[in-house]
Amino acid sequence: MDPKLTEVNQMFARFKAALARNDLNTCEILLSQLKVQLTKFPSLPPLFQQTPNAVEELKLARDIYEHAVVLSVKLEDQDAFERDFCQLKPYYMDTCGIIPPSPEEYPILGLNLLRLLVQNRIAEFHTELELLPVKALEHPCIKHAVEFEQSFMEGAYNRVLSARQAVPHETYVYFMDLLAKTIRDEIAGCSEKGYDSLSISDAKQMLMFNSDQELHQYITEEHPEWEIKNGFVFFQKAKESQPCKEIPSLQLINQTLSYARELERIV
């Protein structure tokens, strides 16, 4: 076996051991060394050179990046997640013919979908979704994220919250917690427009707070314009759009002049 490959393998074994005992600092140090080592393999993307060890090297590199993604979730570092995922993606997309698909592929792709939802990058979410074959959509991890997005768009937040309890993979918990905050803000925004007032207990339940204390704190921090009176939360309605009394004269003049100019061109 190639000595370089053996060395990286050993280092990766140490990394995995550190990850297993949750020694994240060591993991980080080892990971950056590993990534440097990986640059020395010519068979990896973007070169894809046909070397005798190509299959082993590709497998190893993919395994390393998969672990890197999991590590970034553990570290709660979204930027690192994006970086590692981008490095991992070519292994999923472009190595189909060379190495067998990884069992971790769909959980990680699902995780990425969830991240895009949390960061409210819906366009990218759909772009990623288009890349998945039909059979991938059946996988629980992907399905979870897709249904999640649907409920979210519809406004069925209860379903989103119940989905939170049934996570398909342990790494999903971190993003689910982040989503809870996003959902709370959404619900607050909707309630503001949908209701005139809500009783404190109802508001507490809707916004998923355990105590009045937390609710009060949330209102003072996020929505100081709401009013709490006689056990009710009153939402200060934004002024309804009044029927227009004034004629927007400047705009009208501009438009009419442009019509005249264009018509002159025609006649």
Binding site for other proteins (CB under 8 A): 122-124, 126-127, 129-131, 134, 146, 150, 153-159, 186-187, 189-196, 198-199, 202, 241, 243-244, 248, 252, 255, 259, 262, 265-266
User: Of all helices (H) and strands (E), which one includes residue 200?
Assistant: helix 200-206
Q: Return the C-alpha torsion angle 240, 245, 251, 256, nearest 10.
A: 130
User: Would you say 14 or 83 has its CB closer to other proteins?
Assistant: 83
Nearer CB in complex with other proteins: 157/209: 157
Taking the complex as a whole, how short is the minimal distance between the CB of residue 225 and other proteins, in angstroms? 16
Q: Which residues of 100-120 are buried (b: 16+ CB within 10 A; e: fewer)?
A: eebebbbbbbbbbbbbbbbee
As measured in angstroms, the least distance from the Cβ of 24 to other proteins is 31
Closest approach of other proteins to the CB of residue 116, in Å: 12
Whole-number minimum distance, CB 38 to other proteins, in Å? 24
Strand order in the sheet with 227-229: 197-199, 232-234, 227-229
- Shortest Cβ 190–other proteins spacing (Å): 4
Tell the smallest beta-carbon distance from residue 248 to other proteins (Å).
7
Give the residue with the Cβ less far from other proteins, 33 or 197.
197
Maximum Cα–Cα distance across the chain: 83
- Please identify, using beta-carbon distances, which residue of 75 and 161 lies nearer to other proteins: 161
Do residues 99 and 59 touch, judged by C-beta distance below 8 A?
yes
Q: What SS3 state is found at 79?
A: helix
| Residue number, 17 or 190, with CB nearest to other proteins | 190
The vertex-191 CA angle with 188 and 193, nearest 5°, equals: 115
Q: Which is nearer to other proteins, 79 or 262 (CB)?
A: 262
Query: Nearest distance from residue 88's CB to other proteins, in Å?
Result: 15
Question: In angstroms, what CA-CA distances link 142 with 59, 108, 117, 195, 242?
Answer: 23, 9, 13, 35, 46
Tokens of 223: 């929505």
Give the residue with the Cβ less far from other proteins, 23 or 128: 128
Residue 188 Cα distances to 116, 152, 166, angstroms: 22, 14, 24
**Closest to 143 measured CA to CA, from 71, 121, 151:** 151
Token pair 């060890």 is found at 53
